[in-house]
Chains A and B, each alone.
Chain A
């Protein structure tokens, strides 16, 4: 290489504060300080534009800088480019070679020195090569750690320079270490020393960067985790695609779309469903909302928006089915057939809402199933007993976790048609609490004017319930809210008579039970007298459930005998029942044949049918007023007051000295004391008991009575005549006193029962007394006595 002839060996000096110029490296600089500009001007005034560049030691004031403030080793440079700005000069300096200051020639206006060249070291060796390569690796590591977006790898660039020192100088000027470190690299006496220093500095740099990244990653931990999840999910997706597994989301959505199309939704529902479907497509399967939305859309697709069954309007067939499946219940069947006739003539008619009211076990529920059968509609039954949450009926809003559609919508979905028969069982046993009143929700559902756009909270779309045939059942109507009853056509199924029960048992129960235990009607014969005894002695109910269990028990005992080797048929006679069923569970209500004065036989209606009850009255000497006991309600208490007052007002007629009312307390007790009772229908019975007590005459033990009494002694009509008469008949009462206005109700009572008993229709209490207390000699003619 040609050595330059330039040998002046003096140079103006440009001090730099935080950068060291390395030989062979171009450094852009901005110069603004007067002393620096003066030095530069001096350099520019020479033909070769040479200048010395020296770094100022750390901590030295820059303005009053002296030669002693520099490092003594610097770089000779040539000014390659220059551009003057207003108050500064921008220039590019190219480092040429290393120099050392020998002496300072001047300090003002710029520093000028005499210098000597300090040639770059040229030592070589395997160790130097190794260190040079290590340096390149470390440089690459730094580039990775600092996430630099450089277009070329730093290592590749460095590799283009063969001279290890050039690599060191270039890397140092890129990484901009602090001036002291750069100066130490410049001053290094050998390549070996320079590389060792450089590797140390790079190690330090790597440590700093790693620490920096750690801090950054900690602060960004939350965001990073989400990003990580996202990346993992994308990878999973890719893996699935690679494995040829169908991407489940798209498949699901496609399937749902097809189902929704098939469902032929109404326009409102369709647009809503489309919107939700679009939302679903944007969710990942892992999102909790995905499942919620998907099951919602499945529900929408599954609902029978447009599917219905065709009703069978063949009335003769319907009659046949009803008769086959249920014994008697003429009235109810008539009403059902009428309804079917209406539906035949006017197919657009709203389906009716029927309410079957009757005691347990009379077949309300199975009658509903028969209606569905006769109409050829789907049948869905739900029990509302104990339901106390409105949301059960109407569904939860979808915002809640685990939200579900209400029972009505679920029943429709199960049935798969929009016109099923839905049976709302035990509607009188709906509860009510702070979560709302399910009965109120039922009102909307059961009102044909409102339920054509029923909105379930979950579904949140109008669904037409007007084609649904609702049948509700209840044991009594008293506990139902009035507005609800108002929406329903009430059909009463009263209890069965003994005769009816025998018929039911022979036609349905016995064959069914025999089949259950695997016997034939030839093997086990149950006579009708035996059934009658079972009904009286082992059951007490309006329906036939207990009877069915009892027959079942007999059948099982018989089955055991046959299983143990019996061959000849078993004929169950009444006498055999004791052996098969044990002692009689219910004593037949034997009439008290010997009654004391003050006891009268009343008739009561209970949810399980009718019953007779004895009303007992007694006087307590020295007491005052009236005591009534036996778990009675306020209506019955008032009725008792009226009865006593009525007797008092008729005292002279009955031959009772009026002072008897003042000298003793009257106590009326209504057994059984554990059963709550209420209602006005025991009025005449109480009046008769008190009259009997105070007059000292016996009430005819074979006579039972029911009727409300007024203060004036009028007998007013009451309900439940059929059940009461049946109960009286069961108990062996031969004569029944009824209010005159209840005469027409007697038609409900089967002819066989009627023919066995005498009926007296009373208009006033005197009519009652005359029959019930035969030994009583009423003082005056009846008609004249009161009216």
Chain B
């Protein structure tokens, strides 16, 4: 019976492993807004320093990548538990509009990262 149990465990683990399979980086959550002047993409990346983020248009997708670092690493501070994900992240966002020559501007407000997108159509319209 022991061997069967072990087999079962193995596949239980498999189901978990699938959930935990994460790829090379983590993915922050994203809201996408349509607004009068174009698009606004809001990312849940609190604590991200502006110099650690890079925003690009790649193959018609908005690609946001970077690395979130922990600021509380002074001597005498020690994690008792950790749930917030640090280090490298990457997020691709597909938008319905044509992003060629789109104008991007970044802002942070209350910990959110806000990306304003004005496509060519928006500018002309």
State the A residues within 8 Å of B (CB). 1-2, 4-6, 23-26, 28, 41, 44-50, 78-84, 92, 94, 96-97, 143, 146-152, 154, 157, 161, 166, 170, 173-176, 212
Contact = CB atoms under 8 A, between A and B. Distances in A.
Contact of A174 (B14, B54, B82, B90): B14
Interface stretch (B20-28, B37-45, B109-117): B20-28
Contact of A146 (B7, B78, B80): B7
Contacts, number: 113
Interface of B: 3-4, 7-8, 10-11, 13-15, 17-18, 20-26, 54, 56, 63, 65, 67, 69-71, 73, 78-83, 85-88, 90
B3 to A, nearest CB: 7
Contacts of A78: 85-88
Given A2-B54, A48-B87, A82 B11 contact: no
A28 B15 CA distance: 14
Contact of A150 (B4, B11, B70): B11
A161 B54 CA distance: 26
Given A1-B90, A44-B78, A49-B86, A150 B14 contact: yes
A80 B3 contact: no
13 contacts: A6-B88, A23-B24, A44-B79, A48-B69, A50-B87, A80-B26, A81-B82, A83-B82, A84-B79, A84-B81, A96-B24, A96-B88, A161-B21
A81 B14 contact: no
B70 A176 contact: no
Contacts of B81: 82-84
B22 A174 contact: no
7 closest A-B pairs by beta carbon, nearest first, are A47-B69, A26-B20, A82-B82, A148-B11, A78-B87, A174-B14, A150-B11
A772 B14 CA distance: 125
A652 B17 CA distance: 136
B88 A47 contact: no
A361 B88 CA distance: 121
A170 B17 contact: yes
Contact of B10 (A4, A41, A148, A170): A148
A148 B67 contact: no
A41 B79 CA distance: 9
Contacts of B78: 41, 44
B63 to A, nearest CB: 8
A149 B88 contact: no
A632 B14 CA distance: 104
Nearest to A96: B24
Contacts of B63: 2
A2 B70 CA distance: 21
Nearest to A45: B73
A8 to B, nearest CB: 13
Contacts of A83: 81-82
Most chain A CB within a 10 A radius of its CB, from B13, B20, B69: B20
Given A50-B87, A170-B17, A24 B22 contact: yes
A49 B116 CA distance: 31
A147 B8 CA distance: 8
Contacts of A44: 78-79, 82
Given A1-B90, A147-B7, A152-B15, 12 more contacts: A2-B90, A24-B23, A25-B17, A25-B22, A44-B78, A44-B79, A47-B86, A49-B82, A84-B80, A146-B7, A149-B8, A170-B18
